Amino acid sequence: AQIGPPGLELQSTNGIVKVKVSPPEANERKKMWINDLSFKYNLVFWENSSHAQLQRKNIFPVDTIDDLAPNSTYCFKVQANLPLEGKQGWFSPISCVKTTQKEALLPKPELSAAQTNMIFFRSSGSSHQNSWILPCRGYLKTLNDDYSDKWLSVPRCENISSTWCNFSSIITNTAFYYLRVQARQGHNKSCLSREVKVDPLNTNGIGPPGVRLDLSDTLLHILISPPGGAEDEVMRDYYDLSYRILYWKSSSDKEEEVQQKEVKQTIATVSDVSPSSLYCVKVQAFSEPYNKSSAYSQQQCIHTPAGTPLPLMIFGIFMGALLVVLLVAASLVFVFYQAYNKIKYVFFPSCQPPLNIEGFGAQLFSSPYLSAAEEPVESCCVIESMVTEEGNQIDFTDYKHSKQSSRDSGNYSNDDNTSGSKGSKETLEKETV
């Protein structure tokens, strides 16, 4: 489908031409293009003369064209496009209008946004007695409605004599604004200046950060204050700031090479600084996503204290290390000694037998609960005679005495046994006779 021509209305007033564009198919009951806000408009205009030059400008549905010659005829045509779909529409029919004479009694001021939340304006030939009023358009110009009568004045920027104003009270970081300024002097006033689009993150600049230095031992601490102070904390989060640090050692006779360091945090540390030396630092804030950087901060310097003589420092370090080694060694010896005593007490107890049985006999003693070995004893035999009345036959009967064991009386005496045997033998011989 082809994009048809949009509608075009022109109005000339106070030296400018107001342009109002209606989308294609605006008066159609059935539309091919449903979302009118997706159209982008390309305006082509020229002065109606023999030496005319074409000028092109991307405009909103309701916009103004200034810087036109007064009392001159200009012709316009507009085209509707869909950039996302790569489509270009047909141009509208050509419309012409004659500009009027400017009614400004004062030179028209110029407006620029050059620093965070600050608006600067100037006017050629203006004096310090001029007062300024700064209207702000707080609506989306992409809409097709005419909001030209709904400009708002910026608080604390009305009837001021300075050439700058802080408009942070009306802005947010997720929207953009259009600003214009007008000069007044007594009953006279100028035309409104050209509109300036202000996108806080893209238009505004980044101010220099603050720097503070501190020392601890051989470390130089750099404390950075983000630009803008506490009131710009939200904008700093959108910028995703980083910091570029330049530092060097300065002396009366020469300066060493400047060294650079980049950090994301607001605290940085420089190690191995020399004693009794002067170190100087300056810091720059920059944003890689927005390709913006600030000016460097004011140079800050600090003098490091006198250091300890090197031999004394080495001796102190050696003695400290030696003391630590001795303490560790003593602790290990004590721990191992205690462990050795515990192991010896559990697995190798030092038990001694009672004195009354410690030297019993000459045999080894292994346990007081085992019975002693049985002593060897002699076996004795007693022969008795028995005589029967019926005959002369004599029977000898042996009786074995059981073994006796006594640890008190000892063995049977051999002498007694021998005498007993002899007496028995004599008695038997007599009885035989």
pLDDT in tens, 359-381: 555 444 444 444 545 555 566 66
Average of per-residue pLDDT across 175-179:
77
Tell me what pLDDT residue 253 has.
65
Same fold, 121-198 and 210-304: yes
Residue 262 clears pLDDT 90, i.e. is over it: yes
CATH number belonging to domain 210-304: 2.60.40.10
**The predicted structure's pLDDT at residue 199:** 77
Distance CA 173, CA 175 (A): 6
Cβ pair 293, 206 in contact under 8 A: yes
Q: How many CB atoms lie within 10 A of CB 46?
A: 16
User: Which one is predicted more confidently, 73 or 106?
Assistant: 73
> In the chain, where are the structural domains located?
7-99, 121-198, 210-304
Contact assessment for residue 82 and residue 164, using Cβ atoms and an 8 Å cutoff:
no
**Mean of per-residue pLDDT scores for the chain:** 75
In this predicted structure, the answer to whether residue 174 has a pLDDT above a threshold of 60 is: yes
Residue that wins the pLDDT comparison between 82 and 355: 82
Q: Which two tokens stand for residue 362?
A: 């000459």
d(CA 138, CA 141): 9
H helices, E strands: number in the chain: 5, 27
pLDDT at site 408: 45
Q: Read off the pLDDT of each residue in 233-255 and give the average, rounded to a whole number.
A: 79
Q: Does 7-99 carry CATH code 2.60.40.10?
A: yes
**Which one is predicted more confidently, 90 or 50?**
90
Residues in the chain: 433
Angle at the Cα of 207 (from 206 to 211), degrees rounded to 5?
Answer: 125
The average pLDDT across 318-343 equals: 90
Residue 113 has what pLDDT? 54
Q: Is the pLDDT of residue 165 over 60?
A: yes
Measured distance CA(205)–CA(241) in Å, rounded: 13
What average pLDDT does range 269-279 have in this prediction? 86
Report which of residues 103 and 180 the model is more confident about.
Answer: 180
Strands (E) across 206-263 are located at: 210-216, 219-225, 242-250, 259-263
* Residue 396 pLDDT: 45
Contact 108, 123 (CB under 8 A): yes
**By percentage, how much of the chain surpasses pLDDT 70?**
67
CATH 3.40.50.2020 fits 121-198, yes or no: no
